[in-house]
């Protein structure tokens, strides 16, 4: 009897660890794939919008004026190669960290079971954690968005920045990005969760449109509460005085580019809101040595 009872216990003990390890890699793979899909969909749409927003933030002229000027110069997609090179690593980092916090903080590792406060904390922690890792490639991308810098391409930008401004330059604006990402992601995920919960009582609204609308609302909230730090980030990365060139010129200058920025973030957040609910199910459908 002793042998019969002990043997199953040993078998159970031996199978627990491999299952946990497999589950981790399964969810990491799902996050990476989902994030990469997000990036590939988003970048062709977001790149010209981002380029015009960056110009608006720096020179204070209108978004559409800058859009037309960049179009005239053939520079709307100047930063696209850099954005595409960085898109997948950034997405993998973002979604892997997001998935980690969901598994750690959400009940049963399920975002649907998290309350609004927990969802906000998950978003803030994700934004804060990824800053140090993604700032260098974002910095090069933002520099490439301005033809005024005169870089011939991504490699030339990296070499020139390193030669002229030093290695530390790739982390310019990281403090502002840290605060901006923390607040923005908190607003995006928290806004998504509160909106999705409010809309879930409507039986007439299918899951897809509900997640899309909740994600879009989250994007608006995130953009609004974090925009001053977005302007600080732009000033730091493009070597202009935040106080003298932006704050001193009043609220209109401080909010330059906010509206198109909100639209751009709504697109991102809406896509994210559509992808997040499927990541967990997708990870469970992956078979990796089970």
- Per residue in 164-176, pLDDT tens? 999 999 999 999 9
Predicted local distance difference test score (pLDDT) of residue 280: 57
- Choose from 4-8, 42-46, 136-140 the range with maximum mean pLDDT: 136-140
Among residues of the chain, what percentage have pLDDT more than 90?
Answer: 37
- Choose from 135-149, 168-182, 187-201, 222-236 the range with maximum mean pLDDT: 135-149
235-242: which pairs have CB atoms within 8 A and are 24 or more residues apart? 235/58, 235/173, 236/172, 236/173, 236/175, 236/176, 237/139, 237/142, 237/143, 237/172, 237/173, 238/54, 238/58, 238/142, 238/143, 238/146, 240/58
Q: Mean pLDDT over all residues of the chain? A: 79
Predicted local distance difference test score (pLDDT) of residue 160: 98
Q: CA-CA distance, 23 to 18, in Å (whole number)?
A: 8
H helix or E strand, kind and range, residue 200? none
Q: Once rounded to an integer, what is the mean pLDDT over residues 140-161? A: 96
Closest CA to 288 of 85, 21, 33: 21
pLDDT bucket at 202, cuts 50 / 70 / 90: low
Residue 237, Cβ neighbours under 10 Å: how many? 26
- Per residue in 72-111, pLDDT tens? 999 999 999 998 888 777 777 777 787 788 888 888 877 7
- Per residue in 27-70, pLDDT tens? 666 666 766 776 777 788 889 999 999 999 999 999 999 999 99
């Amino acid at each position: 009897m002793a042998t019969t009872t002990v043997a199953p216990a040993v078998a159970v003990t031996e199978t627990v660890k491999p299952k946990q390890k497999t589950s981790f890699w399964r969810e990491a793979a799902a996050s990476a794939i989902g994030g990469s899909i997000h990036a590939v969909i988003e970048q062709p749409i977001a790149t010209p919008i981002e380029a015009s927003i960056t110009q608006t933030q720096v020179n204070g002229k209108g978004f559409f004026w800058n859009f037309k000027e960049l179009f005239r110069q053939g520079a709307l997609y100047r930063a696209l190669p850099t954005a595409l090179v960085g898109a997948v690593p950034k997405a993998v980092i973002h979604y892997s960290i997001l998935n980690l916090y969901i598994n750690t903080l959400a009940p049963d590792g399920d975002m649907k079971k998290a309350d609004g406060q927990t969802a906000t904390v998950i978003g803030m922690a994700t934004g804060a954690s990824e800053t140090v890792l993604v700032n260098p490639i974002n910095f090069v991308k933002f520099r490439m968005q301005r033809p005024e810098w005169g870089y011939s391409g991504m490699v030339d930008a990296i070499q020139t920045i390193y030669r002229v401004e030093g290695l530390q330059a790739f982390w310019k604006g990281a403090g502002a990005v840290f605060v901006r990402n923390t607040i923005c992601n908190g607003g995006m995920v928290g806004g998504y969760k509160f909106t999705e919960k409010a809309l879930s009582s409507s039986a007439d609204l299918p899951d897809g449109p509900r997640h899309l609308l909740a994600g879009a609302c989250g994007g608006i909230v995130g953009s609004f509460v974090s925009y001053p730090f977005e302007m600080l980030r732009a000033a730091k990365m493009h070597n202009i005085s935040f106080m003298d060139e932006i704050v001193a010129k009043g609220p209109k200058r401080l909010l330059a580019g906010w509206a198109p920025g909100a639209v751009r973030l709504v697109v991102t957040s809406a896509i994210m809101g559509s992808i997040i609910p499927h990541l967990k199910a997708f990870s469970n459908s992956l078979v990796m040595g089970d």
